Amino acid sequence: MRRTPLHSALRLVALALVVLWSAFPIFLIVTASLKPSREIFSFPPSFVFVPTFENYVELFRRWPAFVDALVNSLIVTVGATLLTIAFATLAGYGFSRLRSRFLTGSAFYMIVVRMFPPIIVTLPLFPIVNFLRLNDTHAILIVIYCTCYLSLGSWIMKTFMDQIPRELDEAAVIDGATLGQILVKVILPLSTQGIVAVGVFVFIFSWNEYLFAFIFTATEAKTGPLILAEMLGSIEGVDWGILFAAATVELVPILVFVLLVQRFIVAGLTAGSVKG
Amino acid sequence: MKPARASYLLPAPALLMLTGVIALPALYVFYLSFTESSFGTETRFVGFANFAHIVSDGYFWTAFVNTFIVVNVIVYGELLLALAIALLFAGGVPFRKLMFSIMLMPYATSQVVAVIVWRYMLEPDVGIITQVLANLGLPALEWTLNRWHGLTIVSLVSIWLHLPFTFIILYSALISVPRELQEAAHVDGATSWQTFRYVIIPYILPAILVAMMFRFVFAFRMFAEVWLLTGGGPIRMTEVLATYLYREAFRYHNFGLASATGWLLLVATLIIASFYLFQMYRRTLKHDA
């Protein structure tokens, strides 16, 4: 296609707008967390300023609960990620290698269940969770987060495992390997791509999730997003400096993670929705 | 070669989890929607009373209309933006990898953090967007007082959060359009617009439909954006179905009413997803043969 200078200039303007839209809010979070409180709302915003860590000092002094919440977030996130990877790998292998009416039906059933709005299950689960004394525990969040991503996870694993040649399994069987050995020694090493893709989705979701944490935790198992929401909803007015320090601590690790694993996100999304 | 019998049990843990945590509770919600109960205990059968109540509840209709409007604005807004940006990227951009990473950044952001930064930018009087609007002589967004302004902000935050998803799907589809196809159209004398309209769009249509279906289904569940931004206020005017459900269940202890709402949400979702599910059903069956 021919490009006039005007055409190229318009493209650059459009691109600048895209960057402004995507990155500017995140840039604001991080810079505002490093500004003294009185400068946070200065307009036009100061881009050159002497960074201060007073907001971070105040955050950890006044909100010790935030550190506990980050630890909770980490436990729940890692737990949900490992559990999902384990179950999705098993299911994905089954769906990829075996043919039966029951399996076809259950693979389809998984897609249907994925469409159910999860908020509705809070209604019957709430009394059951209370009865089992699972309320306010890491376990309940791990189970729920894992379930939310089992459908997508199993389908992603199936898509990736379909690409592993069946001859490898067959050779292993002839060598006398058991099902467990085939899975661990032949399939697992070749499906790391899929495992990472599945893990990435659960990890991001569990770290950021709000609704279920809001309903099923009270004090002990509170996660990071809940503390942020508390700070935002504070009646005495929002302390923006501290809030931005907390938001930065919450956001930056997962942001770096997402940027590192972006090719898995792209691969997983296309495998899980378009193909699967 | 016959696979080991035990291997048929491989999907069992996943299926049990999905059934125990989602499918069975969802069915139970169907039962609850015909009962009156608080916290799911001491249920009393009331027939269609909950549905009758919902239909006559003004707050439900507000939430219903809000959800309908917001979901459509979000899905179509995202679709147009994502398509435009995907075309921009497919046409070649400088620092493509870096730009792609920047485009993905909101994907890492939680709903809470997104609400925090958008609220900061939109704070009455002092927020940066508020001040830019004022300097341009435009009216302020009174999102704490005005229903439509509130819903505008909710839509904006939601589009910001989910644009990367739609973008990734459309961009992947766009770069898979065979070059020869576009060149052939060009040789036949098609203008850029004609190539786009009659070659590219039909080619990526399946991806567009899938992206839209997923966004419809997920936008329908929207809770945190509304809950944390407006709390459904002022006077429950910016509520959506999920916040209506939450409030009825966990604030007013009307579990029957909330269950009826939940079931409507589920049915609406399945209707939206039906074309995709039907397609997947055919494809899994074909796979089986």
Contact (CB, 8 A) for A138 and A72: yes
Q: What is the mean pLDDT of chain A?
A: 90
Which chain B residues touch A240 with a CB distance below 8 Å?
Answer: 120
The number of residues in chain A equals 276
User: For residue B189, what pLDDT is reported?
Assistant: 86
Comparing alpha-carbon positions, the chain B residue that sits nearest to A255 is B108
Which chain A residues touch B169 with a CB distance below 8 Å?
Answer: 269-270, 273-274
- 3-state helix, strand, coil split of chain B in percent (to 5) is 75, 5, 20
User: For residue A91, what pLDDT is reported?
Assistant: 94
Distance between A184 CA and the closest CA of chain B, angstroms: 14
Tell me the pLDDT tens digit for each residue of B4-40.
677 788 999 999 999 999 999 999 899 888 988 766 5
Which chain B residues touch A257 with a CB distance below 8 Å?
Answer: 108
User: For residue B40, what pLDDT is reported?
Assistant: 54
User: For residue B39, what pLDDT is reported?
Assistant: 61
Contact (CB, 8 A) for B143 and B229: yes
Distance between A269 CA and the closest CA of chain B, angstroms: 7
The identity of residue B245, as a single letter, is L
Distance between B172 CA and the closest CA of chain A, angstroms: 8
| Beta-carbon separation of A43 and B126 below 8 A | yes
Q: Is B70 helix (H, G, I), strand (E, B) or coil?
A: helix
Which chain B residues touch A94 with a CB distance below 8 Å?
Answer: 7-11
Binned at pLDDT 50, 70 and 90, residue A276 comes out as: very low
Lowest mean pLDDT among A173-177, B215-219, B267-271, B285-289: B285-289
Domain boundaries along the sequence of chain B: 58-288
| Beta-carbon separation of B269 and A215 below 8 A | no
| Beta-carbon separation of B265 and A29 below 8 A | no
Binned at pLDDT 50, 70 and 90, residue A275 comes out as: very low
| Beta-carbon separation of A104 and B288 below 8 A | yes
Percent with pLDDT over 70 in chain A: 97
Please state which of the four CATH numbers 3.10.20.600, 1.10.3720.10, 3.40.50.11540, 3.40.50.720 is assigned to the domain occupying B58-288. Answer: 1.10.3720.10
Which chain A residues touch B85 with a CB distance below 8 Å?
Answer: 18
User: For residue A69, what pLDDT is reported?
Assistant: 96
User: For residue A65, what pLDDT is reported?
Assistant: 93
Binned at pLDDT 50, 70 and 90, residue B118 comes out as: very high
| Beta-carbon separation of A251 and B173 below 8 A | no
C-alpha span between A209 and B110 (Å, rounded): 7
Mean pLDDT of B140-167: 91
Higher-confidence residue of B285 and B92: namely B92
Q: Smallest Cα–Cα separation from B217: which of A27, A105, A252, A273? A: A273
| Beta-carbon separation of B277 and A115 below 8 A | yes
Tell me the pLDDT tens digit for each residue of B76-88.
999 999 999 999 9
| Beta-carbon separation of B26 and A204 below 8 A | no
Higher-confidence residue of B259 and A43: namely B259
Binned at pLDDT 50, 70 and 90, residue A250 comes out as: very high
| Beta-carbon separation of A119 and B223 below 8 A | yes
* Full set of structural domains in chain A with CATH: 5-54 (no CATH), 62-275 (1.10.3720.10)
Tell me the pLDDT tens digit for each residue of B198-211.
889 999 998 898 89
Of A151, A247, A257, nearest to B18 by CB-CB distance is A151
Residue B45 has pLDDT above 70, yes or no: yes
Residue B2 has pLDDT above 70, yes or no: no
User: For residue A272, what pLDDT is reported?
Assistant: 67
| Beta-carbon separation of A247 and B214 below 8 A | no
| Beta-carbon separation of B224 and A112 below 8 A | no
Torsion angles phi and psi, residue A107, rounded to 5: -65, -40
Tell me the pLDDT tens digit for each residue of A186-220.
999 999 989 999 999 999 999 999 999 999 998 89
Residue B180 has pLDDT above 90, yes or no: no
| Beta-carbon separation of A125 and B21 below 8 A | yes
Distance between B224 CA and the closest CA of chain A, angstroms: 7
Distance between A116 CA and the closest CA of chain B, angstroms: 6
Binned at pLDDT 50, 70 and 90, residue A98 comes out as: confident
Q: What is the 3-state secondary structure (H, E, C) of chain A?
A: CCCCHHHHHHHHHHHHHHHHHHHHHHHHHHHHHCCCHHHCCCCCCCCCCCCCCHHHHHHHHHCHHHHHHHHHHHHHHHHHHHHHHHHHHHHHHHHHHCCCHHHHHHHHHHHHHHHCCHHHHHHHHHHHHHHCCCCCCHHHHHHHHHHHHHHHHHHHHHHHHCCCCHHHHHHHHHCCCCHHHHHHHHHHHHCHHHHHHHHHHHHHHHHHCCHHHHHHCCCCCCCHHHHHHHHHCCCCCCCHHHHHHHHHHHHHHHHHHHHHCHHHHHHHHHHHHHHC
C-alpha span between A108 and A91 (Å, rounded): 13
Mean pLDDT of A212-232: 93
Q: What is the mean pLDDT of chain B?
A: 89
Residue B285 has pLDDT above 90, yes or no: no
Which chain A residues touch B221 with a CB distance below 8 Å?
Answer: 117-119
Tell me the pLDDT tens digit for each residue of A101-148.
888 888 889 989 988 998 999 988 888 888 899 989 999 999 999 999
Residue B197 gets which letter from DSSP? I
Residue B289 has pLDDT above 50, yes or no: no
Which chain B residues touch A173 with a CB distance below 8 Å?
Answer: 1
In this complex, how many residue pairs, one in chain A and one in chain B, have their CB atoms less than 8 Å apart?
284
Mean pLDDT of A53-75: 94
Of A106, A126, A146, nearest to B39 by CB-CB distance is A126
| Beta-carbon separation of A147 and B17 below 8 A | yes
A43-49: which pairs have CB atoms within 8 A and are 24 or more residues apart?
Answer: A43/B126, A43/B128, A43/B131, A45/B128
Higher-confidence residue of A85 and B256: namely A85
| Beta-carbon separation of A90 and B11 below 8 A | yes
Which chain A residues touch B50 with a CB distance below 8 Å?
Answer: none
CA of A78: how far to CAs of A203, A271, B152, in Å?
7, 23, 36
| Beta-carbon separation of A118 and B221 below 8 A | yes
Q: Which of A123, A186, A250 to mutate to test the interface with B (most CBs of B within 10 A)?
A: A123
Tell me the pLDDT tens digit for each residue of A69-91.
999 999 999 999 999 999 999 99
Binned at pLDDT 50, 70 and 90, residue B191 comes out as: confident
C-alpha span between A143 and B116 (Å, rounded): 28
Which chain A residues touch B116 with a CB distance below 8 Å?
Answer: 29, 228, 232, 243-244, 247
Mean pLDDT of B265-289: 79
Of A97, A119, A153, nearest to B3 by CB-CB distance is A97
Mean pLDDT of B189-217: 89
| Beta-carbon separation of B22 and A113 below 8 A | yes
Q: ipTM value, please give it.
A: 0.91
| Beta-carbon separation of A154 and B121 below 8 A | no
Mean pLDDT of B277-284: 80
Higher-confidence residue of A31 and B6: namely A31
Distance between A85 CA and the closest CA of chain B, angstroms: 10
Residue B41 has pLDDT above 80, yes or no: no
Lowest mean pLDDT among A40-54, A58-72, B242-256: A40-54
